[in-house]
C-alpha cells in the first residue's frame, strides 16, 4: 500500500509526539512491546512459513532452522576482532590542543591506525607547538603526519582519505565534513558546538554554584565547546545568583545570559524545545530534580552540581547527539572509534549433524512437513 507524503508526515508527527511524551522510556512499556513481538511470531509462525514458501519457495520447516543452527554453532567459537580503520584524519582546535588533538591521536595509535593526520583550523604560532609536532622527533615519520595548513578542500581530502575522520567545530563545518565524507562512505566522529543549558534550582548552594558556573563559562577565555552558554535559574534564587556571580567575575569577559523559570518542569520544557546540546548542567541538592534533568532531557553529556568536568573523564565517552554531533571518544572509546569490530565465527569440520537442515539439497522428509 502506497501512502501519500502528507499521510507519512502525519504518521511521523504522531510517532514523535508519542516519543516526546516519554512513553518509550518506561521499562514496563519496552518489556510489553518485546513480549508482543514474541507473541506475534509464535501465534503467526505458520503465516510466516507460508509467506516464505510463496515468495521465496522456502520449504516448510525452514522457519525453525535458525534455532537449530544456533544450537549447532554454540559448539563453535564466536570472536570479535578489533582491526584498525586505516588512515585517519584528526582535526583539532587551537584552544584545546591536548583534549582535541592528542587525546584522539592516542586512540588512533592504540587502535593500530597506519597514519594520523592532525590539522587545526587556527594553529598557534608558538614555537613549542612546532617543536613538539615536528615529524619524526617523537613519532614515526612514515606513520604519523601533521598538516598545518589546509591545502585541500574537504571533498578532495576525503576522496584521498577513506578510512576515518574525527573533527570538532561548529555545525556548518560539521555539515560540510559529513557531506564530503558521505561521498566515500568515510566514518566520521563530529564533536559540534551548540547552546549548553545550565539549570540552577532553588535548592542549591548558591555560592558554590556561582563559583563553578563562572569558572566553567569563563575559563580558557570562554573558548570551550562544553562551557555553559546560558543559565535557567529558578525565580526564587535569581537575585542571589546574580550577586554571587558578580563577585566571581572580572569586568570583562564572555556573556552569560540568565533566564528565569518558575519550576524544573519549565526548565525541562525549554531545553527540549531547543536542538540537542553537547552538555546539560544541573545544580540542585534535590536528587529528584537531578534525576529528572538527566532522564528527561537529551544531550551528549550531563553533569550535576558542576560543569565541564564530565568532558575530562577518560572513563566516560565524550561526544554529541543530534545537532551537537555524532560518535564519541575518550579512553577505550577512542580505541573503539578508530577500530572496526569484525565478527568472526570459528567452526570445526568435526560435526555435521545439521547439514541436511541448513544446506541444500533438503531431504525428502523435510519436504513432507
- DSSP letters spanning 248-301: H--SSS----EEEESSHHHHHHHHHHSPPPSEEEEE-S-HHHHHHHHHHS--SE
In this prediction, what percent of the chain has a pLDDT beyond 70? 73
137-185, pLDDT tens digit by residue? 566 665 555 554 444 455 555 555 556 777 777 788 888 888 888 888 8
Structurally, at CATH architecture level, domain 81-192+338-342 sits in 3-Layer(aba) Sandwich (3.40)
Which residue is it, cell 617543536? 131
The pLDDT value given to residue 165: 75
CATH topology of domain 197-312: Aldehyde Dehydrogenase; Chain A, domain 2 (3.40.309)
Q: Which long-range contacts (CB under 8 A, 24 or more apart) does 65-68 make?
A: 65/357, 65/358, 68/354, 68/357, 68/358
d(CA 54, CA 264): 57
Calculate mean pLDDT across residues 13-28: 83
The pLDDT value given to residue 85: 86
> Any idea where the domains of the chain sit in the sequence?
81-192+338-342, 197-312
Helices (H) and strands (E) in the chain, counts: 16, 15
181-201, pLDDT tens digit by residue? 888 888 888 888 789 999 999
Higher pLDDT, 162 or 22: 22
Q: Would you say the CATH fold of 197-312 matches that of 81-192+338-342?
A: no
Number of neighbouring beta carbons within 10 Å of residue 278:
27
Number of neighbouring beta carbons within 10 Å of residue 15:
11
Q: Are 241 and 209 in contact (CB under 8 A)?
A: yes
Q: Are 230 and 256 in contact (CB under 8 A)?
A: yes
69-79, pLDDT tens digit by residue? 555 566 778 89
CA distances to 78, 111, 115, 343 from 81, in Å: 10, 11, 20, 7
The C-alpha angle 37, 40, 45, rounded to 5 degrees, equals 125
Q: Are 256 and 245 in contact (CB under 8 A)?
A: yes
Rg (CA), the chain: 27
CA distances to 17, 19, 30, 167, 329 from 26, in Å: 16, 11, 7, 35, 28
340 has pLDDT over 80: yes
CA distances to 19, 42, 49, 64, 260 from 45, in Å: 30, 5, 6, 9, 57
The pTM for the full model equals 0.80
Q: Are 157 and 176 in contact (CB under 8 A)?
A: no
Amino acid at each position: 500500500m502506497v501512502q501519500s507524503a502528507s499521510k507519512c508526515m502525519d504518521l511521523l508527527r504522531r510517532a514523535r509526539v508519542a516519543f516526546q511524551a516519554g512513553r518509550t522510556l518506561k521499562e514496563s512499556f519496552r518489556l510489553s512491546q518485546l513480549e508482543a513481538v514474541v507473541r506475534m511470531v509464535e501465534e503467526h509462525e505458520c503465516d510466516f512459513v507460508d509467506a516464505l514458501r510463496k515468495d521465496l519457495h522456502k520449504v516448510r520447516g525452514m522457519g525453525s532452522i535458525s534455532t537449530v543452527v544456533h544450537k549447532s554453532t554454540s559448539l563453535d567459537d564466536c570472536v570479535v576482532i578489533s582491526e584498525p580503520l586505516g588512515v585517519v584524519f584528526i582535526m583539532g582546535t587551537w584552544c584545546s590542543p591536548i583534549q582535541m588533538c592528542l587525546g584522539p591521536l592516542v586512540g588512533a595509535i592504540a587502535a593500530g591506525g597506519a597514519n594520523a593526520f592532525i590539522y587545526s583550523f587556527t594553529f598557534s604560532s608558538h614555537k613549542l607547538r612546532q617543536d613538539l609536532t615536528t615529524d619524526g622527533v617523537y613519532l614515526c615519520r612514515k606513520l604519523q603526519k601533521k598538516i598545518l595548513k589546509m591545502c585541500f578542500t574537504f571533498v578532495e581530502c576525503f576522496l584521498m582519505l577513506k578510512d576515518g575522520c574525527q573533527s570538532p567545530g561548529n555545525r556548518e563545518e560539521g555539515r560540510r565534513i559529513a557531506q564530503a565524507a558521505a561521498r566515500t562512505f568515510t566514518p566520521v566522529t563530529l564533536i559540534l558546538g551548540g547552546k549548553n543549558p545550565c539549570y540552577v534550582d532553588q535548592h542549591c548552594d548558591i555560592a558554590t554554584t556561582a563559583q563553578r558556573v563562572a569558572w566553567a563559562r569563563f575559563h580558557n577565555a570562554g573558548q570551550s565547546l562544553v562551557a555553559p552558554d546560558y543559565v535557567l535559574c529558578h525565580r526564587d534564587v535569581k537575585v542571589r545568583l546574580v550577586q554571587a556571580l558578580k563577585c566571581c567575575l572580572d569586568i570583562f569577559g564572555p556573556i552569560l545570559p540568565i533566564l528565569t523559570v518558575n519550576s524544573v518542569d519549565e526548565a525541562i520544557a525549554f531545553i527540549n524545545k531547543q536542538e540537542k546540546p553537547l552538555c546539560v548542567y544541573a545544580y540542585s541538592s534535590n536528587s529528584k530534580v537531578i534525576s529528572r534533568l538527566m532522564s528527561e532531557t537529551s544531550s551528549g553529556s550531563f553533569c550535576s552540581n558542576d560543569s565541564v568536568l564530565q568532558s575530562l573523564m577518560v572513563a566516560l565517552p565524550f561526544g554529541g547527539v543530534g545537532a551537537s554531533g555524532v560518535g564519541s571518544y575518550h579512553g577505550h572509546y577512542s580505541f573503539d572509534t578508530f577500530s572496526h569490530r569484525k565478527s568472526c565465527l570459528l567452526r570445526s569440520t568435526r560435526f555435521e549433524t545439521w547439514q541436511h537442515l541448513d544446506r541444500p539439497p533438503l531431504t525428502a522428509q523435510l519436504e513432507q512437513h
